[in-house]
A and B are shown apart, each in its own frame.
Chain A
Amino acid sequence: MTISQTRNVGLPLMKLVRWKGVPILQQLHLEEQLLRTSSENWCIINDGTNDPTIVMGISGKPAQLLKLDSVLNDRIPVIRRYTGGGTVVVDCGTVFVTFICNKDAVPGLQPYPQPIMSWSSLLYALVFRGFGDFSLRENDYVFGNHKFGGNAQSITKNRWIHHTSFLWDYEARNMAYLKLPARAPEYRVARDHLEFICRMKDYMPRSVFVDRTIKAVETHFSVRPVELEAMETNLNSKFPHSTKLLTEQELEAAAFESHFEKALSHSL
């Protein structure tokens, strides 16, 4: 048997969920539940979410990261997710790809942030070959020096999750809800949002991206698609999700605090 045949036979199983337009809160809830309660490997692809939503990392502070007045005015939902990382604005132009794996699913891969990040970039290098100057730049996926994909992870005792939001397209006005974070990758320093991001649609068709991603996953895993309905019945509805939709009251309180602090600093 040739090596390639041997490798196909020995590939670990990965279940694939393909969605389109599923709300990001539902996706995050599913992800966390699978991470913590399943013992299988999963890949979730959500081709666009429904409404524009702001998604912060687990320790994100709205007052520091968001222009709260605009957010509250325009009633944009704000979610704090269960993984680390930064803040994104997602909508129907965002494509999400998530990997949830057992720590020994990828032979030789150490279940720590950098190795997982590097492994993911190898996988996406296959996806984007011939379509652009793709690379991993300080935890972002870039074409050249323009970001089009942001990453976040969560690593538990025996499993890890790595999820990415890809900017296939975006609305400039939505980016305006975000402040520039205090800690930013070096290549983004002194650059406005619209200066350091780019649209994936300028590089490849959407369906091609999804298909190539699945193909790239198949080089590491034996992929089995599963239907959402079947999935939902298996989920434990009592699972305590960490991902939370922030209430209007919480956002207003944060905005008030921020104004108050600013006023205080000016008065000194």
Chain B
Amino acid sequence: MMSRGIWQQKCRNAIRRWLRSCAAQTSPLSPSPVVSLGNSSYIGFSSQPIVSRYAMASFSMVNDKLMDLNIPYSIKRSCFSSHALLDLPASGIVSIPLAQTGEGIAECELLKWFVKEGDQVEEFQPLCEVQSDKATIEITSRYKGTVSQIIYVPGDIVKVGETLLKMVVEESQGSNLTSNAPDDMKSMGAEVCDSSIQSSDLRNSNTGGVLATPAVRNLAKQYGVDINHILGTGQDGRVLKEDVLTHAVQKGLCKEPSSLSVNSVEHFQGEEKYSHTLAADGWQYEDKTVPIRGFQRAMIKSMTLAAKIPHFHYVEEINCDALVKLKASFQEENRDPEVKHTFLPFMIKTLSMALSKYPLLNSCFNEELQEITVKGSHNIGIAMATPHGLVVPNIKRVQSLSILEITKELAQLQQLALANNLCPEDISGGTITLSNIGAIGGKFGSPLLNPPEVSIIAIGRLQKVPQFVDDENMYPASIMTVNIGADHRVLDGATVARFCNEWKLYIEKPEQLMLHMK
């Protein structure tokens, strides 16, 4: 795995060497890392010259705009800069264009200048203020120099990429371009835009380590882990925040489950790039490559971990006639139009009741420490299939909630999941998982555990089947098949069987709940 990262590094170095050799031969490319190509090219922003220059490196450029995910909080890929980037020949007058200030923004209104022609300008000094949509943004200078010509006046609309002003830049700054790049450039370069990976690559290759943003490096430092020892799951082997957290959990450095990363947390860190699977293009015979993103990536990680756990499965049938009647009576008495009663909240509550008697099923196993932690809260996760992938939000402390409260909480989590609005708290801290695969179909499933939990329950579809009673008469019964997956390092068949019997009793005889109510 490490060697993959190193191999990729070597490829990039080879590509750069090839490009430099091209630059030496062909006139349009200067030998410096920044290409002097007139007004339209600058680091960290897509433009034709850069696309062609780095074609060999297979960067997918920002010109193919990220599709709108129609997800309110998701990140939209873009290159940002509040610096007026410039193309830099060795010395002389340079044109400074308005760089991208936010994805989808093609133009800004110039509000005011902070400098005038003839002014000496320092690096990072504010040059002007522009407005785009909702924001006023200060544009600062990347370099030290003298303003030679102001192109626009306040009130003008400036398209992104057009020259804002011209500056006379001092010669010595050209060689210092990459090594003195400010933090803004680093964070801009590293996060989101493919075309800016070049600058972050340079920086990362300079440090000789893996690809990672400063925020992720800080996180690794915080946990005291060597980032070079962490397997990166991002593009080009980039180490992401979730990689650090997973590594820390495995090392026992942190207790917080990191099995599911969250779009909403990562997106503003800019470490992830998301896209939809491409829509069918009408050609049925072509293969499609689907990039791994978001929930899918989390699922891969989680299931890879789960595959290492010795599972066993226990299957049982539960007669749900009483449950069907109960649900009907709940709905009949229901006066709240916002509340819709389903089977699941009752199953969640009875599951919690059974867990109170068999708490070992509500535990976590730490392989490194060889320790079982019996969890005090019944945080029951409900697997949900959303358009964005499989996600498992959990209802906290079910033992202290009523069935009605569970109904409301479940409905809310479902809404949030569909809208991709779940927050990290919703999907972490789960202690056991319920997968109602029967809602889609199937007699029962054979679920894989959701690490670090030790049990998972898959519920099949409710089916009306003939049942015999004692006098050998048949009657129709609503039967549901459940499959309990369990970690055989922690649980044995007998424990799971007894637990299941207890749960089955509550479902088949709901009045038993009253007996145990506190």
Q: 1/0 contact trace for B98-112 toward A, CB 8 Å?
A: 000111010001010
Complex Cα–Cα for A96 and B229 (A): 47
- A3 at the binding interface (Cβ < 8 Å): yes
Q: Across the two chains, which residue of chain A brings its CB closest to B100?
A: A112
Complex Cα–Cα for A83 and B264 (A): 26
Task: State which size class the interface on B falls in.
Answer: 35 or more
Interface residues of B in 163-202 (CB under 8 A from A): 183, 187-188, 191
- B7 at the binding interface (Cβ < 8 Å): no
A82 cross-chain contacts in B, Cβ below 8 A: 136
Q: A3-B254, A110-B187, A157-B138 are in contact. Are A118 and B133 (CB under 8 A)?
A: no
B134 cross-chain contacts in A, Cβ below 8 A: 57, 83-86, 113, 117, 139, 151-153
Asked if A3 contacts B255 (CB within 8 A), the reply is yes
Asked if B421 contacts A3 (CB within 8 A), the reply is no
Q: Across the two chains, which residue of chain A brings its CB closest to B249?
A: A3
Asked if A83 contacts B269 (CB within 8 A), the reply is no
Asked if B421 contacts A155 (CB within 8 A), the reply is no
Among B78, B109, B133, B222, find the residue whose CB has the most chain A CB atoms closer than 10 A: B133
Asked if B419 contacts A135 (CB within 8 A), the reply is yes
Complex Cα–Cα for A145 and B101 (A): 27
- B494 at the binding interface (Cβ < 8 Å): no
Q: A107-B218, A136-B72 are in contact. Are A112 and B82 (CB under 8 A)?
A: yes
A104 cross-chain contacts in B, Cβ below 8 A: 183
Asked if B270 contacts A84 (CB within 8 A), the reply is no
Q: 1/0 contact trace for A91-127 toward B, CB 8 Å?
A: 0000000000000101111111111111101100110
Asked if B80 contacts A110 (CB within 8 A), the reply is yes
B136 cross-chain contacts in A, Cβ below 8 A: 58, 82-84, 153-155
Minimum CB–CB distance for B271 against chain A, Å: 8
Minimum CB–CB distance for A120 against chain B, Å: 10
Among A82, A112, A151, A155, find the residue whose CB has the most chain B CB atoms closer than 10 A: A112
Flag the segment in B124-132, B317-325, B445-453, B473-481 that touches A: B124-132
A113 cross-chain contacts in B, Cβ below 8 A: 101-102, 105, 132-135, 137
- A137 at the binding interface (Cβ < 8 Å): yes
Minimum CB–CB distance for A253 against chain B, Å: 17
- B120 at the binding interface (Cβ < 8 Å): no
- A133 at the binding interface (Cβ < 8 Å): yes
Q: 1/0 contact trace for B144-161 toward A, CB 8 Å?
A: 000000000001000000
- B140 at the binding interface (Cβ < 8 Å): yes
Interface residues of A in 58-102 (CB under 8 A from B): 58-59, 82-86
Minimum CB–CB distance for B210 against chain A, Å: 18
- B18 at the binding interface (Cβ < 8 Å): no
Number of interface residues of A (CB under 8 A): 46
Q: Across the two chains, which residue of chain A brings its CB closest to B218?
A: A107
- B374 at the binding interface (Cβ < 8 Å): no
Complex Cα–Cα for A135 and B80 (A): 24
Minimum CB–CB distance for A10 against chain B, Å: 8
Interface residues of B in 213-232 (CB under 8 A from A): 213, 215, 218, 222
Asked if B135 contacts A152 (CB within 8 A), the reply is yes
Complex Cα–Cα for A104 and B222 (A): 17
Asked if A108 contacts B213 (CB within 8 A), the reply is yes
B132 cross-chain contacts in A, Cβ below 8 A: 84, 113
Q: Across the two chains, which residue of chain A brings its CB closest to B262?
A: A122
Asked if B412 contacts A112 (CB within 8 A), the reply is no
Asked if A121 contacts B138 (CB within 8 A), the reply is no
- B73 at the binding interface (Cβ < 8 Å): yes
Q: 1/0 contact trace for A128-141 toward B, CB 8 Å?
A: 01100111110100
- A2 at the binding interface (Cβ < 8 Å): yes
A135 cross-chain contacts in B, Cβ below 8 A: 72-73, 419, 421
Minimum CB–CB distance for B500 against chain A, Å: 33
B408 cross-chain contacts in A, Cβ below 8 A: 130
The residue that A133 contacts in the complex, of B76, B82, B415, with Cβ under 8 A, is B415
- A8 at the binding interface (Cβ < 8 Å): no
The residue that A110 contacts in the complex, of B109, B126, B191, B241, with Cβ under 8 A, is B191
Among A139, A153, A155, find the residue whose CB has the most chain B CB atoms closer than 10 A: A155
A137 cross-chain contacts in B, Cβ below 8 A: 72
- B492 at the binding interface (Cβ < 8 Å): no
B75 cross-chain contacts in A, Cβ below 8 A: 115, 118
- A156 at the binding interface (Cβ < 8 Å): yes
B236 cross-chain contacts in A, Cβ below 8 A: none
Q: Across the two chains, which residue of chain A brings its CB closest to B216?
A: A108
A-B residue pairs in contact (CB < 8 Å), sample of 8: A59-B109, A112-B102, A114-B78, A115-B270, A116-B135, A153-B134, A153-B135, A157-B124
Q: A107-B215, A108-B213, A110-B188 are in contact. List 19 more A-B contacts (CB 8 A).
A: A3-B256, A57-B131, A85-B134, A85-B135, A108-B271, A109-B268, A110-B268, A111-B82, A112-B80, A112-B102, A113-B133, A114-B103, A115-B268, A122-B73, A125-B73, A126-B423, A135-B73, A139-B134, A156-B126
